[in-house]
């Protein structure tokens, strides 16, 4: 069986993944003499930098997702199919999916990344990742369910487990999530749950390194640390998680551990590589090793971009940052290089332009680094909001997110606190009834 796509005599460029990188390749090839086939397991593109706001009730999922078909519905040479890739046959220039096989002339792997639990099976079993819309919604439902369950007749330890939160990873995602939880504790939960003593609620942020936001400046790191401490977050630097049984987090610093029914894992990611690529092409972090043109090691017609690609350079010996700007720039360059390939022109190497880094830590609090420029506080917070609105796809999404942010700013409220689809806990407290499956 073959995936049904329109017949075409044009060279076929097959793109796997509708993230930032995959969309950039397709955009570079729109209205060009190619048949572009884009495959993704979802029919929407996710704006991942705002997933933590979905998880903490600040935004609804559909405001950070956009239908992929709508992005390209005016470009006749771009075909989109929803499919799961099951394997790649580079020799036969064919991709296997759950819908059947699809041949290609050029293949672009923009498969992105998934949560890296570093081989800790118990943590993988019980902790919550936050890489997809579904995971963020599950986390939001779990957070709200915890507070609903905390109203039952529980002993103090069980109540502590339900109202304590551990965020693992001191990068932008971890810092932003911890800050959002602290804002919930301060401004929202006391009104929703007046019967609970939320002074007992604890938020822990665990980082294996010696500072937060390791990829940013020392000034940003210190600002994030000071701000989170003022918000009441318990910071644990130079601390490694050694295990989690669904109730207690153990670390290399504490034999007793931290009681928490919710652990949010933001400590690392690894590339998603489809079956069929030679192991010799896969490097550190399960990323595909690519040359200066983003061609996968050992292949002439297979490219990799974004989180799944590792291009070693003098400035980035371990590969470029796994962030949206890098994926988008790689995608645009690969698209243009494929055009040059067909024309017989020499390829142009990829050069990353670092547009800076930023992280928000809470209301009126953020840090921004751009070259030698450092901003913090309100101006950095406004800059962070403007940049994120700019990169959202679709006017409606920008408008909805902006209105939500304005509403939250003036009302100190997060409006999306609905348990639409109860999330079944993998571990239940001893006497609580299991939550019904969706």
pLDDT in tens, 149-200: 998 877 888 888 999 999 999 999 999 999 999 999 999 999 999 999 888 8
3-state SS, 207-221, equals: CCCCCCCCCCCHHHH
CA distance 63 to 394: 9
Phi, psi dihedrals of residue 308, rounded to the nearest 5°: -85, -5
Whether residue 332 lies in the annotated active site:
no
Bridge partners (DSSP) of residue 262 are 165
CA-wise closest residue to 177 among 223, 224, 220: 224
Structure tokens of 365? 């609090």
pTM: 0.91
Chain Cα centroid distance, residue 423: 20
Q: How many residues does the chain have?
A: 438
CA-wise closest residue to 257 among 212, 204, 190, 334: 204
- Residues 345-358: pLDDT tens digits? 999 999 999 989 99
Q: Which of 60, 96, 135, 176 is the catalytic position?
A: 176
CA distance 174 to 248: 19
Cβ-contact 49, 360 below 8 angstroms: no
Phi, psi dihedrals of residue 336, rounded to the nearest 5°: -70, -35
- At 438 the pLDDT is 30
CA-wise closest residue to 438 among 426, 428, 425, 424: 424
Specify the DSSP class assigned to residue 235.
E
Cβ-contact 264, 204 below 8 angstroms: no
CA distance 238 to 207: 6
Q: Which residue has the tokens 């751009």?
A: 370
- At 24 the pLDDT is 97
CA distance 191 to 171: 30
CA distance 69 to 223: 41
- Residues 186-240: pLDDT tens digits? 999 999 999 998 888 999 999 999 999 998 999 999 999 999 999 999 999 999 9
Answer yes or no: is pLDDT of 93 > 70: yes
Query: For the residues 22-43, what does the mean pLDDT come to?
Result: 96
3-state SS, 59-121, equals: CCHHHCEEEHHHHCCCCCCEEEEECCEEEEECCCCEEEECCEEEECCEEEECCCEEECCCCCH
């Amino acid at each position: 069986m073959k995936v049904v796509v329109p017949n075409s005599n044009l060279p076929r460029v097959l793109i796997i993944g509708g993230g930032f990188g995959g969309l950039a390749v397709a955009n570079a090839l729109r209205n060009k003499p190619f048949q572009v086939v884009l495959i993704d397991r979802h029919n929407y593109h996710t704006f991942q930098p705002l997933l933590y706001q979905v998880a903490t009730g600040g935004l609804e999922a559909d405001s950070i997702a956009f239908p992929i078909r709508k992005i390209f519905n005016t470009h006749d040479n771009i075909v989109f199919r929803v499919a799961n890739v099951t394997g790649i046959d580079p020799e036969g220039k064919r991709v296997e999916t759950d819908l059947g096989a699809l041949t290609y002339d050029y293949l672009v792997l923009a498969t992105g990344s998934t949560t890296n639990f570093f081989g800790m099976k118990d943590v993988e079993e019980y902790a919550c990742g936050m890489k997809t819309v579904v995971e963020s919604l599950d986390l939001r439902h779990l957070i709200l369910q915890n507070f609903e369950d905390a109203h039952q007749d529980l002993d103090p330890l069980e109540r502590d487990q339900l109202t304590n939160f551990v965020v693992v990873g001191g990068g932008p995602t971890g810092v932003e999530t911890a800050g959002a939880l602290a804002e919930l504790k301060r401004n929202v939960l006391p009104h929703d749950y007046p019967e609970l003593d939320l002074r007992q609620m604890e938020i822990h942020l665990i980082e294996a390194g010696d500072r937060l936001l390791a990829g940013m400046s020392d000034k940003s790191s210190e600002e994030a640390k000071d701000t989170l401490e003022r918000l009441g977050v318990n910071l644990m630097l130079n601390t490694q998680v050694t295990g989690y049984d669904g109730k207690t987090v153990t670390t290399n610093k504490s034999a007793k551990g931290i009681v928490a029914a919710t652990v949010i894992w933001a400590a690392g990611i690894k590339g998603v590589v489809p079956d069929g690529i030679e192991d010799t092409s896969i490097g550190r972090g399960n990323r595909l090793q690519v040359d200066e043109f983003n061609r996968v090691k050992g292949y002439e017609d297979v490219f990799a971009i974004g989180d799944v690609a590792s291009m070693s350079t003098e400035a980035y010996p371990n590969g470029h940052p796994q962030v949206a700007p890098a994926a988008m720039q790689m995608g645009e360059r690969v698209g243009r290089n494929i055009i040059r390939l067909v024309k017989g022109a020499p390829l142009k190497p990829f050069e990353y332009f670092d547009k800076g880094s930023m992280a928000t830590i809470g209301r009126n609090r953020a840090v921004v680094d751009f070259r030698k420029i450092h901003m913090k506080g309100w101006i950095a917070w406004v800059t962070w909001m403007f940049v994120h609105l700019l990169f959202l796809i679709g006017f409606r999404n920008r408008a909805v997110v902006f209105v939500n942010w304005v509403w939250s700013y003036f009302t100190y409220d997060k409006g999306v606190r609905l348990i639409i689809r109860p999330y079944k806990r993998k571990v239940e407290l001893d006497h609580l009834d299991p939550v019904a499956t969706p």
